[in-house]
Amino acid sequence: MKMEKDKRYISPGGWFSLSYPAAWSEFEDGEDSFLFYNPDVWTGNFRISAYRGEGAYADECLFRELKENPQARKVQVGTLPCAYSTEDFEEDGEAYTTHFWVTGRKDVSFECSFTVKKGGAVDEAERIIRSLEVRDANVKYLPELIPVRLLEIYRINEAYEWLSGKVKDVLKKDFQGEESDIDSMQQLIDKALFAPKKRDAWLSIGIVLCVILANEVDGMEWRTLVDGNREAPVLLQVDTGVVIDPMKLVWSKVRVQEEIHLAAIYEDAWHQLEH
């Protein structure tokens, strides 16, 4: 049986990238910490935090961990030297072990942990650590589509809640995220509620158009586009590879002072998917 490819993750701000198992997903965790695990068959929680310093900051953090943590020992994971330690604990009568790695490259240090049932394998975590790459701020990387991150999911939900709230408050109508709601969105625009310079408002309208498209068309999935400093949600038709960018639907037209007719914009997006 052919194994699914690993998923790729690029951190907010583009500090680092990693690959994680295809069956895993990203989940909410503490600030500046990223959590991944398999939601269907739990094999462990993998957390990673990244810290940027100056010069050989990663080496300094590794040496400090080895010096200050008597449990830590130096190991090699792929090409990365790591300070590795473990900690056992019990929860609800079940024994667990958390494995810790402090590692990094150049000016970026990583703190990784993997919590499993006691005696559980750590090969999935080591595979992720082996894939770690520090991204150079001075390098222009090619644009990438990666599985949609929590950050962009929050942005999509925020846009939808904001616009549906506007429709309910101003027009006293329900909003279901269906094609029939486009007329209500147009009414808000016709009332001149959104100033031409309110970029976030127009981006939100584009995102909600894509939400409607995803609800109406099979095979649509959200992705995160990482393109230089731009990190944004886009819609991908999985079978054809056609990408619909919410920014280009509305905001790009507002910037050049085009009149906005959402029904026509939505129809054009449909035509893109058909071809």
Query: Per residue, what are the HEC states of the chain?
Result: CCCCCCEEEECCCCCEEEEECCCCEEECCCCCEEEEECCCCCCCEEEEEEEECCCCHHHHHHHHHHHHCCCCEEEEECCEEEEEEEEEEEECCEEEEEEEEEEEECCEEEEEEEEEECCCCCHHHHHHHHHCEECCCCCCCCCEEEECCHHHHHHHHHHHHHHHHHHHHHHCCCCCCCHHHHHHHHHHHHCCCCCCCCHHHHHHHHHHHHHHHHHHCCCEEEEEEEECCEEEEEEEECCCCCEECHHHHCHHHHHCCCCCCHHHHHHHHHHHHHC
- Give the mean model confidence (pLDDT) for residues 164-178: 96
Instruction: Express each pLDDT in 181-195 by its tens digit.
Output: 999 999 999 999 999
Share of the chain above pLDDT 70, in %: 98
Arithmetic mean of pLDDT, 48-75: 96
Mean pLDDT of all residues in the chain? Answer: 95
- Summarize the confidence of residues 42-67 as an average pLDDT: 96
User: In order of start, what are the domains of the chain with their CATH numbers?
Assistant: 7-139 (3.40.1000.10), 146-274 (1.20.120.1090)
Residue 229 pLDDT exceeds 70: yes
Q: What is the pLDDT of residue 275?
A: 65
pLDDT at 32: 82
pLDDT of residue 4: 67
Model pTM above 0.75: yes
Which band of pLDDT confidence, cut at 50, 70 and 90, is reported for residue 1? very low
86: tokens are 């473990």
Angle at 41 between CA 144 and CA 147, to 5 degrees: 10
Does the pLDDT value for residue 205 go beyond 90?
A: yes
Rounded to whole angstroms, what are the CA distances from 214 to 69, 217, 234, 239? 50, 5, 11, 14
Confidence check: pLDDT of 54 > 70? yes
Give the pLDDT score at 2: 42
At 84-142, the pLDDT tens digits run 999 999 999 999 999 999 999 999 999 999 999 999 999 999 999 999 999 998 899 99
The size of the chain, in residues, is 275
pLDDT at 30: 80
Inter-residue contact 220 to 243 (CB < 8 Å)? no
The whole-number average pLDDT for the span 230-250 is 96
